[in-house]
Amino acid sequence: MDPDFQPLFQNPHFLTIAGNFWKRRLDEKRFPAVRRKYHISDRISVLALEHQPDSVAKGQLILIHGLEGSADSGYMRSFAQTALDAGFGVHRLNLRTCGGTEALSETMYHSGLTSDTISVADKIKQQYKQPVFLVGFSLGGNVVLKLAGEMGRTSLLAGVCAVSPPMDLARCVRAIDKRANILYARRFLDRLKQRIIRKSVSSPQSYSTQGLREVKSIWEFDDRYTAPLFGFGTAENYYHTQSAQHFLHGIRVPTLIVTAKDDPLVPFDIFDHQSIRENPALTLAAPRHGGHLGFLARRGPRFWVEQFVLDWVDDILHEQSGKGSHADLVAAQ
């Protein structure tokens, strides 16, 4: 699918940077945030900021942020506003140790960690008895695609959406390290290093700062910290085992992937994937421009991807209420 998206700029770096710094609105007077702490295990909890609409919600959306983001990332806030205005409940989830929650978890997050999100989704489903959708941004997109593939046919989720997902982690880390992307690479790496420094205070047995200054790339960071801490051994094995591309064939719930063909951090050719071509549960929407999470429109609505995704969610709800579960239809084919 090639959506009709008219970008504010055509330069992908302008779109990426402007999308990150553009002022976003979330009316917390009308839609106050409730802090929900979800207990995952004895040493792990995660925090979500929950908002409910003025009337009975049409469904519940769980938003998952990207690398070194949080529940307060701009795209999380503005998406929440648009979804609440459309009548959905919203849960802005902080991944482990993100959004100032280092004290809640012994370990930090990684690009394929799905168990926390499954636990949160299950509790929300039990509480509201309404359709639950996952919406993941960047790294969060890899998480939700991998999760959907792991679960296969499930009544827990009504649908999944991934925006700018780095579903081939090794390819995307190499793309970030290109000279043209040096500003992004430095920003991500600096924030990852700061996270290690903070965790070294609360969990010195797991997070040592020895040699941290010598780490010069995200690949080196993951090789030194992420992969050993989670039992993957090396960064190469971590990227291979946790990339969502290896799980796409198992997806049986309606799933939308939105990515720009000019994304500087996520090479578009990774989406030329057999499962995307052949799995009827998967829909790829790929506008020509958009950068990385930078879908700023020339004309309103400014944050184009939000309304595009919510229109898709509404279509799925209509289909499921009128024809039975999309997952059942897919499984029967």
Domain assignments of the chain as residue spans, ordered by start = 12-168+247-332, 169-242
Calculate the CA dihedral of residues 24, 48, 252, 167 and round it to 10 degrees: 60
Has this prediction a pTM greater than 0.85?
yes
- Which residues, listed in sequence order, are joined to residue 37 by a DSSP beta bridge? 47
Q: What is the pLDDT of residue 3?
A: 86
Listed as own residue / partner, the contacts of 186-193 with beta carbons closer than 8 Å and 24 or more positions apart are: 187/68, 188/67, 188/68, 188/218, 189/215, 189/216, 189/217, 189/218, 189/221, 191/68, 192/68, 192/218, 192/221, 192/225, 193/221
Quick one: 12-168+247-332 is in which CATH superfamily?
Alpha/Beta hydrolase fold, catalytic domain (3.40.50.1820)
Instruction: Count the neighbouring beta carbons within 10 Å of the beta carbon of residue 304.
Output: 23
Q: What is the pLDDT of residue 138?
A: 98
pLDDT along the chain (333 residues), means of 10: 90 96 96 98 96 97 98 98 98 97 94 98 98 98 98 97 98 96 96 95 88 96 96 98 98 98 98 98 98 94 97 96 53 42
Cβ pair 150, 244 in contact under 8 A: no
Q: What is the pLDDT of residue 27?
A: 98
